Structure 1
Amino acid sequence: MAATSPIARPITGRFVLVTTIAFFAVVISVNMVMMRLAITTLPGTEVDSAYSASLAYQGEIVASRQQNERGWQVEAHIDRQPDGAAAVAIEARDHTGVPLRGLNFLARLERPTDRRADRAIEVTEAGPGNFHGRAEGVTAGQWDLVIEGDADGRRMFLSKNRIVLN
């Protein structure tokens, strides 16, 4: 008896159509998944409206000049605790070295890459010129420490520094 070899199926137009559609369906599906992931993980923009930011720019220049004229000496120290909390200590003095009183300081830890991870730090006055605050759930890595000091609802001080928390 002779061995029979399997008969090869001919490539038909229907087979080519089905494989082509299947190929492009896989490519389009993968592209849609990647596009969805890219859009949902996009951290956003630095400002919501470039026009509004440009209008406020002149006011920022004036506020910066006034802050420089005051000559305040504001120092901040921040530590990340093993439990994930971050403790910030702020020491504020005027140009003669006298501790500043009656200011409300606000502090924020901002992620340079993802605004959704930002953490507000509630700062309270611990004594003349000394302010302390704490934020929970702060992960290690690079952050921007933003400190604002205001008196009577008017911003008197602004500082933004890039820091690394371990």
Structure 2
Amino acid sequence: MNQTRAPRPLTGRMVFAMLVAFFGVVIGVNLVMMRLAIKTLPGTEVDSAYSASLAYEKEIATAREQAARDWKVDAHVERSGQGGATLQVEARDNAGRPMTGLTFEGRFERPTDRRADLPVTLAEVGIGIYRGSAPAIAPGQWDLVLEGASAGQRMFLSKNRVVLN
């Protein structure tokens, strides 16, 4: 006495309901992923491509002037035990003499997330030696950006990739 039920017939309504459910799930997942992607977007490199292109010629001229000066600027990053880092910059002119009276600023920039950038103010601690610290900096890859100015005009700019452990 084993009674088996006949399978339900596949109707047009059932197929329509399955299609609506399938595409509803796909669209729902896409909306959630899109919202998360937009919410965690770290930003853009430049706010306006047009204004960046206008400043490009000036940057080329500034880079040529910097190359003509032939300064030797060495930077050293040392990790502290509490997760911080000390940045030391030594600046010499083209004859190898230490340069004093400059204003150096450093910046640790995350290549993937602008929100994690850390500025470092450097003070002259010796003849041609500038030092500053970042109290808490995460390990990983960073771009070290150094800017040196004299009398309010930028005289030096460098950007180098560093790995902090």
Which residue of the partner structure matches residue 12 of structure 1? 11
* Number of positions where the alignment pairs a residue of Structure 1 with one of Structure 2: 165
Give matches, 1:1-166, under 5 Å.
Answer: 2-166=1-165
> Partners in 1 of 2:9 and 2:108 — Cα distance?
66
Q: Deviations over 1:112-143 (max 9, x none)?
A: 12212111112111121111111133111111
Partner SS for 1:29: helix
Range 39-48 or range 132-141, more displaced: 39-48
Shift of 1:37: 2.2
Shift of 1:162: 1.1
> Partners in 2 of 1:11 and 1:136 — Cα distance?
67
Range 79-88 or range 89-98, more displaced: 79-88
Partner SS for 2:38: helix
Shift of 1:7: 4.3
Structure 1: segments with no counterpart, 5+ residues: none
Shift of 1:109: 0.7
Query: Structure 1 counterpart of 2:92, which letter?
Result: R
> Partners in 2 of 1:57 and 1:42 — Cα distance?
26
Contact 1:146 1:159 in 2 (8 A): yes
Shift of 1:153: 1.2
Calculate the TM-score normalised by the size of structure 1: 0.90
Range 53-62 or range 8-17, more displaced: 8-17
Q: Deviations over 1:30-69 (max 9, x none)?
A: 1111222222233332222222112111211221122122
> Partners in 2 of 1:6 and 1:157 — Cα distance?
84
Structure 2: segments with no counterpart, 5+ residues: none
Contact 1:80 1:138 in 2 (8 A): no
Query: Structure 1 counterpart of 2:16, which letter?
Result: L
CA RMSD across the alignment: 1.7
Partner SS for 1:26: helix
